[in-house]
Every structure is written in structure tokens, then in C-alpha cells.
Amino acid sequence: MTTPQGRHFLQIPGPTNVPDRVLRAMDRPTIDHRGPEFQALALRVLAGIRTIFKTEQPVVIYPASGTGAWEAALVNSLSAGDRVLMFETGHFASLWKALAERLGLQPEFIAGDWRHGADPAAIEARLREDRGHAIKAVCVVHNETSTGCVSPIGAVRKAIDAAGHPALLMVDTISSLASIDYRHDEWGVDVTVGGSQKGLMLPPGLSFNAVSEKAVAASKTAGLPRSYWDWGEMLAINAKGFFPFTPATNLLYGLDAAIDMLHEEGLERVFERHARHGEATRRAVRSWGLEVLCQEPAHYSGSLTAVLMPAGHDADRFRGTVLDAFNMSLGNGLSKLAGRVFRIGHLGHFNDLTLIGTLGGVEMGLEVAGVPHKAGGVQAAMDFLAQQQESQAASHAAE
């Protein structure tokens, strides 16, 4: 086997590339997690992460993957047999539903086609039918990582309010946090679920629950068993800068650095950068004569783009060709999209040149794999990005 040269291009939609600054921050001796140095770090991180969720309310940090944060959101706020309304946006919405079933909840799916985000009107209609308020929570994935479709969370909150329904609103932001505009407080979200390994530019290993006052109140009477995930114990000791169990100290060092990086760039510019890269990628895909999976422009993702393969061509074989020839990993299709799509991640520590390298690998891969396409996708992306840079320069000159 020939040893690949150059840095591996990790262009899956998470885990994402970890910046050197974050790696260096984590490359420190582990300290006493009951001492004053750790206390200062924890208080700083617990305050800083609130700014990323755009909330004044607490954010609980777990040493876990996003799946742990899903479970924490449900077990802290619900009781066995509670009905939960969910929207089928894709693979990860389906996994959250399956987890709810295993916990003894009764999730109800509003069917979707995996090519659009959640429909607020359908959610409102179902809640209006629930006159007895049997539904205790509405769960929506903000950015469905399997499809590249974004759900309009602000509109979902308005739909719940319009129905006059008291259900909690829970939102998965695992592949949108710090990449796509998100506003926990302003949008009236009760529990926001997040993970470290995508827009936050960290390795896997941290997960989050941002919790509203309403959610904390619900946790006082919720009946599902919980111990490790319990918000009450966490919130009480977090207030003093500590954790009830051994925390992931070195990941917290990295999170501290990542929060600083996001604020130095400015969250709005972070969102603009991701939107720009999403649009450039879609222009490349269309120039190749291929089809973007997401069909609703208002639902396009800045985090990733899922691309449909032409009939008769297997996406996984194509991905294998790209990996072997160019040392680049692309995301695979999940569950019913297996073999039908590949996913281009363009989130986290990512710039224009990284995107052009990524798209160059895809275009060369299409040629090597014999996938029918047109040339010029990379050029279309470059033209768009150059125009954006010119507009930005002109705007700065006018200031």
C-alpha cells in the first residue's frame, strides 16, 4: 500500500477538522477537577457556551456524544408513556424517535420525504387536534445531517403558540450549532441538544443541553429514571464551577479555545461563511449536472450538501474511489439513502481554499469513477466565491 501524502481531507459532516489552536489548547496536563484552576476554567466555559446557544439560561455539559444529550433531554423532562410529537426529516430524527421508544415514551412521527425540513403548519394542525394536551413535547432536528435540510425553528415555535399548546419544544442542533443561525431564547426553545464534534471544532466527546426555565420546572415532576443525566445535580454544582462526576477536562480546554475563536470571527460572520460555502457547493453540484437532495431553497444547509447519484451509480463506490485516489473522505448515505447520496461537509474550521480543494477532489473523483457529469463545477464555485470576496472588499472600502 502506498502511504498517502499530504493532509487527509476529512470532508464528512462531522466529526470535523480540529484547528491547531484547539489541539494545542487540549495538549496540556490534566488538572485537579476539584481545584481552583479548574473552577476558573469551568465557570468561563459554562458562561461562554451560553453565548453560542444565544441563551441566558444554563447549558449542561456532558462527557458524551450527541446521543447522550438526546437521552438527557428526554429523561429529565418527561415521564413513561408521555406522547412526543416528532417530524421525520431524516435518519437522525428517526434515531431520536427510536431512542424515545426504548425509554418508554410514545413518539408520534409526522411523515416527511427526507428532502425538506419540518413543516410548521403540519405541527400546528396536529397540536390543534390534541385538545387534551396529551402531547408533552415537540422534537425537531434543526439541521438534518443525513439530508442537508434545515427546519425553521422560529416558525415551529410560532406554530406551537398558535395552537395554544403547552408542549415543550426540544431541538437537535448537533450539526448546526456554531454553523447556522440559532437562537435558543428568542425562538422559545425549551431544550436544545448539541455536540462538540461539528461546528464547535472539537473532537467527539462533549454534548450539551441548553435548558429553559420551563424545562427545568418540568424536570421537577418528570418520572423517567435518571442519574448520570440528571439536570438538578449538574446545575447545582455547576453554579460553583464544578461537576458531580469527573469532567472531560482536556476537552473543556479545547472548548474554551473554540469559543474564543468563534467570538473573534463573530458569530454572524461564522454563519455567513457557512452559508457562502453551502451556496458555492450547490452551484458546483448543479454545474456537474447532479442534483442536490434538499428540494426547498429556504431549507438549504450551510453545514453540508447531500448529492444524489445518477441512476445506476453507487455512491459508496464513488466515495471509495475518492478516498483511494485523493485521500479524501466524503459522507455516506444513511439508512434509506444508503448508496444513493454522498454528503459534502463544509462546516467548522473551513475556508474558501479548503472548499475548492474539496470540490476539486469530488470533480476529479467523478471523472475517475466514470460517473456521468459535466465539467466546470469547481469553476462555478470559484466564480461565486470570487464575486463574494469582491463584494466584501467593496463593502469594507465604503465603510
**DSSP three-state, residue 139:** strand
- Joined together, the cell numbers standing for residue 162 give 398558535
Tell me if 161 sits within 8 A of 191, measured CB to CB.
Answer: no
Counting Cβ atoms within 10 Å, is residue 281 exposed (0-12), middle (13-18) or buried (19+)?
Answer: buried
> How many C-beta atoms lie closer than 10 Å to residue 227's C-beta?
8
Cell numbers for 160: 406551537
250-278: b (≥16 Cβ within 10 Å) or e: bbbbbbbbbbebbeeeeeeebbbbbbbbb
Least Cα distance to 275 among 254, 298, 293 occurs for: 298
Whether 343 has a binding-site annotation, put simply, is: yes
Q: Tell me the CB-side half-sphere exposure of residue 275, using CA atoms within 13 A.
A: 13
Residues of each annotated binding site for substrate: 343
Residues of each annotated binding site: 343
